[in-house]
Amino acid sequence: MSVLATQEFCITLSDLASFMEISPTEVKKKAEAVLNKKVKSPWLMPEEVRTLLLASGYKYPQKVISVQMLKGGVAKTTSVLNVGLRAAMYGAKVLFIDLDQQANLSFALGVEDESLPVWVDIVEKRKSIEECVRFVEPHVDLIPSSLNNSVLDRALMNSNRNWAQVVKAPLAKIRHRYDLILIDTAPALSAVNTAVTVASDEVVLPVNPDKFAFLGLEKNLSELEDIKQDFNLQFRRKILFTKFDGRENTSHELLQKCIESFEDSLMKGYIRTSSEVKNTVRSGKSLFAGKSPVKADYDFVTREMLGFV
C-alpha cells in the first residue's frame, strides 16, 4: 500500500471546474447526474472522474510513454511520478514501470521490498509480467525496481531471444488494461533503454537549464534517431523543459535555444523550479497534496500527455 494518503489520489471539484471550464457548482451537478448519487466531498475518486469525463466526451489514450535522459538531475523521476498520479486523478488507468536500479520511483510509491520480482525476473523467465504488477491505489499499478535490476543490461545481451523486444513483448500481454504506461529509466545509453524505446509510443526527454543537460539532450536525440532508423520505429519524441527559473538568464537563454532548435518536439507545458519539486520523490508525496504553484505546471503537462489540451 502506498504511503500517499487516499485524498492525494483524488481531484478536487475546483480543479475539475477549471479543466472543464465550468463552475464547481456545475461540475457537482453534472457529476451527480452522471453518477446518480449525491456528491458530498470536495473531490471525486478516479473512477468517478473517469465516468464523468467519458460522459462529457473525453477519450483516454492507450499509449506507452518512456521518460529518458542521459544526464541525471533533470526531474525525470519526479516528472514520471507527478504526471502519472495526476493522470490517475483524471480517471486514467496508469501503470508505472520502474527500470532504474536506484528504484526512486518505487520508493516514492511506497514499495521498498527488495524481494519483490522486477523486470530482470521477466527477462530471465522466473516470473510473468502479471506476477510483477503491484497494486498501489485505485487506477495506479507499479512494476517496481530494485538493485536486482542492476544486471538487467547483461541479462538482455545474454538472452537467447530478440533482446530489443524484451520490454515490448511482455507489455503486449497487459497494455490493454491501461490508458497510460509510464516507464522511468536510468540515465544511460544502454541496451535496456533501447528496448524501452522499441516499446514506446512516445519518448519524453526532460531537460533543465544547464549546458550539460543540453549536451545530453543532443546526444539522446541522436541516439533515438539511430534507434528509430535501425528498428524502423514510429515513436514520437517530446522535450519537456524542467526547473525553469524566470529570475535567471540561463533559464531564458536555454529555453529559447530549445525553441529555436527543437520547436516541433518541445512540449507546450514546462515545469518551474521549486523546493517542492526537489522533495516530492524523497518525501513520497505528490505535489498535488500541497499548494505548490508547480501543481499547475504538472497539471497542464499531464493533460497534454493525455490529449486533453
pLDDT in tens, 144-173: 999 999 999 998 888 767 889 999 999 999
Q: At what angle are helices 13-20 and 294-306 packed, to 10 degrees?
A: 60
Residues whose CB is less than 8 angstroms from the CB of residue 222 and which lie 6 or more positions away in sequence, other chains included: none
* Predicted pLDDT of residue 6: 58
Tell me what the mean pLDDT of segment 37-66 comes to. Answer: 95
pLDDT tens track for 171-216: 999 999 999 999 999 998 899 999 999 999 999 999 988 878 888 8
Residue 278, pLDDT score: 67
Count other C-beta atoms under 10 Å from residue 17's C-beta: 16
Tell me what pLDDT residue 260 has: 87
Q: Which of 277, 307, 220 is nearest to 76 (CA)?
A: 277
Q: How many CA atoms lie within 13 A of 154 on its CB side?
A: 4
User: Count of CB atoms within 10 A of residue 213's CB?
Assistant: 22
CA separation for the pair 207, 216 (Å, rounded) = 8
Average pLDDT, the chain: 91
Is the pLDDT reported for residue 4 higher than 60?
no
- The mean-pLDDT minimum among 169-178, 180-189, 275-284, 291-300 falls in 275-284
What is the DSSP secondary structure assignment for residue 266, as one 8-state letter?
E
Burial annotation 79-95 (CB, 10 A radius, 16+ → b, else e): bbbbbbbbbbbbbbbbb
Contact 58, 21 (CB under 8 A): no
The CA distance from 267 to 28, in Å, is: 32
Lowest mean pLDDT among 66-80, 245-259, 269-283: 269-283
Pairing type for strands 11-12 and 43-44 reads antiparallel
Q: Above 80 in pLDDT, residue 280?
A: no
The residue among 277 and 266 whose pLDDT is bigger is: 266
- Point out the least confidently predicted range of 1-10, 16-25, 198-207, 286-295: 1-10
Tell me what pLDDT residue 243 has.
87
Instruction: Provide the 8-state DSSP code for 201.
Output: S
What is residue 230's predicted lDDT score, i.e. its pLDDT? 94
Q: Determine the pLDDT at residue 148.
A: 93
Beta strands at 134-137 and 140-143: parallel, antiparallel or unpaired: antiparallel
pLDDT, average across residues 62-68: 97
Domains of the chain are 59-306 (3.40.50.300)
- Chain segment 253-262, per-residue pLDDT in tens: 888 888 888 8
Is the pLDDT score of 293 beyond 60? Answer: yes
Of 7-11, 50-54, 179-183, 216-220, least confident by mean pLDDT is 7-11
Across 207-235, average pLDDT: 91
